[in-house]
Structure 1
Amino acid sequence: MNRGAHFKVALIGASGLLGRAVTNELAAFPRWQVVRTAFRHGDASTVTLDVRDESAVREFITDHAPDAIVVAAAERRPDVCENDPALARALNVDALGFIASAAREIGSWVLSISTDYVFDGTRPPYQPDDAPNPLNAYGRSKLDGEQVLLQSSAQSCVLRLPLLYGPVIDWGESAVTSLTPAIVESVRGPAPAVMDAWATRYPTFTPDVAVVIRQLLERHEIGESVTGVKHWSGDEPMTKFDIAQSIARVLNVDARITAQHTPIDTTPRPQNCHLASDALEALKIGQRTPFDIAIRSVLRNWPRPTSL
């Protein structure tokens, strides 16, 4: 750690759904120096970085010498991972190996984001040390990435998270907000929107996760680094059918929504991967915004002409 200097954080993947929330949270801490990276959607204040490029990753970490590295870059779409496992491995596994190796050499602490999809969803709630059993390529790639990081000898923490939602640039950024166009179309179109009522999810607000990440960084700053695997999750069980009904209420539209009680996704998904957050709660880490309040804040600018 850079004693006597500003605490420096590298946020890798700052332009994504979670990365933007972390950016906003850390902006309230001017005593920290935050270096942000993005691959495609950066701006003048971000460093362009392709995490699949080992030499570029090593050069970035060596040049900036951060005290902590938050890795929010990933391929998170299960269908994309299923159809392109090489891309999933490059982003979710190999890139973490590059980051971990470079971080170990300079003594940086690495916080990497993982997923509830490392579990098969048959025995919730899951503790961090429960046996993983991913059902799809996305879950397998994230589990492999966890293992690469944890076996690297770099000081590190894996933070597993469930379904994320928050302020979006387009509806498709989250599986929560991606339901919105179908809900709206069900009002004015010929057919009802069919929504999954089989899988139970625990939608988790990205600004809340950003608080968790900031609190973990604060722990590292004072030399009380949290390591190993940790879980954080919203605490409201909801199916996509439940989520769609809530969105329709917020939008105040008379949506026609039909519940689908059997799995219909081509990529297999677990039924209930509820993550137990006890370990972080015991450290007084965490924040939860009720879903109805959070989704109202996300949808408050609806409709967006560019999206619908």
Structure 2
Amino acid sequence: MFRVAVIGASGLLGRAVVRELAAVTDWQVVPTAFRHGGPQEAVLDVRDAHAVNAFVEREAPDAIVLAAAERRPDVCEHDPAAARALNVDAVRSIATAARQRGAWVLSISTDYVFDGTEPPYDIDDTPNPLNAYGQSKLEGERALLETSDNALVLRLPLLYGPIVGWHESAVTSLVPAIVASAQPGAPAAPMDAWATRYPTFTPDVAFLIRELLLRFADGAPVCGVAQWSGDEPMTKYDIAQRLAQALGVQARLLAQPTPTDSTPRPRDCHLDSSRLEALGMGRRTPFDAAIRAVLDAFTISGERR
């Protein structure tokens, strides 16, 4: 039986991957969580190389999807050592253990490996990260590909999807401010109107990952570097307007035409997805339909309906 380990299965993308792979009835999925594993989840601290090696030896996966990472740019900027432990050292440990097992590894990376000055970016374009997060993810890419030739880096942009709290995505994290701005007498909510983003739906990414796993299982793995992205360019201000419409609130939003983040961020890192598109892979759900599906699972207070 084909076995897939999903490392970081309790996160935004990891949950979507586990849900998607559950539809493949003749596969065995082994999900992991960092601290509090659910009934079907193994607890694994990916920063512990001995624990990683023991996990791979015990579970003997044919493939590993690595969705665990430190993704918060501000956190990475203030604690680059902690970011490196998750985004670089853990990737190398997993790749080393997988190589010994003969397992294929798919590791998630980011559009922030680029500086955002000359989009769109092809897989062969030279990375030039502007912040510690992008640098750590770039070093993680190199750690994976230097350790194993049976591996794929999958670069992704801003993600959103089914959530357990508004904070899980930089898309849904805007909701509380949007709702608050609609209250009588409330000030307008400032929203970045400088950087262009390409929100990408996690169930679409999970569908793509299942396609990539199927190719590996069929003896035709995709290795090296690949990229996938939504195709609707938006600033946070644009996203907030569409969220307000989906929520049915009269939000007061203030467009900010210059960057205000303390951590530098690239202006436009649009990822070229042509390598995977040429293979006939992937799908894209329109943003408005996808975000409505996400919001329909929540009330304004953040509780499930």
TM-score range, shorter chain: over 0.9
State how far apart, in whole Å, the 1-side matches of 2:58 and 2:36 are. Answer: 22
Residue 276 (structure 1) shift = 0.4
Residue 63 (structure 1) shift = 1.1
Q: Which among 27, 31, 36 is matched to residue 22 of structure 2?
A: 27
Give yes or no for the alignment of 1:140 onto 2:117: no
* CA deviation vs aligned residue, 1:194-236 (integer Å, no higher than 9, x gap): 0000000000000000011000000000000000000000000
* CA deviation vs aligned residue, 1:59-113 (integer Å, no higher than 9, x gap): 0001111110000000000001001111100000000110011111111000000
Give yes or no for the alignment of 1:291 onto 2:287: yes
Q: Which among 32, 38, 60 is matched to residue 37 of structure 1?
A: 32
Q: Which runs of 5+ in 1 are unaligned?
A: 1-5
State how far apart, in whole Å, the 2-side matches of 1:212 and 1:190 are. Answer: 42
Residue 30 (structure 1) shift = 1.2
Paired residue secondary structure (1:195): strand
Paired residue secondary structure (1:175): coil
Letter in 1 for 2:272: A
State how far apart, in whole Å, the 1-side matches of 2:74 and 2:116 are. Answer: 18
* CA deviation vs aligned residue, 1:15-38 (integer Å, no higher than 9, x gap): 000000001100100100110100
* Conserved 8 A contact 2:166-2:302: no
Q: Which among 270, 277, 294 is matched to residue 266 of structure 2?
A: 270
Q: Which among 236, 240, 243 is matched to residue 239 of structure 2?
A: 243
State how far apart, in whole Å, the 2-side matches of 1:42 and 1:239 are. Answer: 36
Paired residue secondary structure (1:284): coil
State how far apart, in whole Å, the 2-side matches of 1:257 and 1:184 are. Answer: 10
* Conserved 8 A contact 2:200-2:229: yes
Letter in 1 for 2:192: D
Equivalent residue number for residue 187 of structure 2: 191
Letter in 2 for 1:251: L
* Conserved 8 A contact 1:157-1:226: yes
Residue 154 (structure 1) shift = 4.2
Paired residue secondary structure (2:153): strand
Q: Which among 256, 262, 267 is matched to residue 260 of structure 1?
A: 256
Number of equivalenced pairs:
303
Paired residue secondary structure (1:10): strand
State how far apart, in whole Å, the 1-side matches of 2:179 and 2:301 are. Answer: 13
Distance 1:300 1:306, change over 3 A: closer
State how far apart, in whole Å, the 2-side matches of 1:203 and 1:307 are. Answer: 23
Residue 190 (structure 1) shift = 2.2
State how far apart, in whole Å, the 1-side matches of 2:127 and 2:284 are. Answer: 25
RMSD over equivalenced CA pairs, Å? 1.1
Q: Which runs of 5+ in 2 are unaligned?
A: none
Q: Which among 61, 67, 70 is matched to residue 56 of structure 2?
A: 61
* Conserved 8 A contact 1:186-1:193: yes
Q: Which among 175, 178, 181 is matched to residue 180 of structure 1?
A: 175
Letter in 2 for 1:138: Y
* Conserved 8 A contact 1:101-1:154: no
State how far apart, in whole Å, the 1-side matches of 2:37 and 2:247 are. Answer: 31
Equivalent residue number for residue 121 of structure 1: 116
State how far apart, in whole Å, the 1-side matches of 2:131 and 2:299 are. Answer: 34
Paired residue secondary structure (1:151): helix
Q: Which among 166, 190, 207 is matched to residue 161 of structure 2?
A: 166
Q: Which among 173, 192, 215 is matched to residue 219 of structure 1?
A: 215
Equivalent residue number for residue 278 of structure 2: 282
Matches within 5 A, 1:63-142: 63-142=58-137
State how far apart, in whole Å, the 1-side matches of 2:75 and 2:109 are. Answer: 17
* Conserved 8 A contact 2:115-2:128: yes
Tell me whether 293-302 or 44-53 shows the greater mean CA deviation: 293-302
Distance 1:204 1:137, change over 3 A: same
Give yes or no for the alignment of 1:201 onto 2:197: yes
Letter in 1 for 2:72: R
State how far apart, in whole Å, the 2-side matches of 1:303 and 1:62 are. Answer: 43
* Conserved 8 A contact 1:100-1:154: no
Equivalent residue number for residue 227 of structure 2: 231
TM-score by length of 2: 0.98
Runs of 4+ with >2 A deviation = 304-308
* CA deviation vs aligned residue, 1:88-140 (integer Å, no higher than 9, x gap): 00000000110011111111000000000000000000001100000000000
* Conserved 8 A contact 2:149-2:224: no
* Conserved 8 A contact 2:208-2:283: yes
State how far apart, in whole Å, the 1-side matches of 2:292 and 2:101 are. Answer: 43
Residue 44 (structure 1) shift = 1.2
Residue 303 (structure 1) shift = 1.8
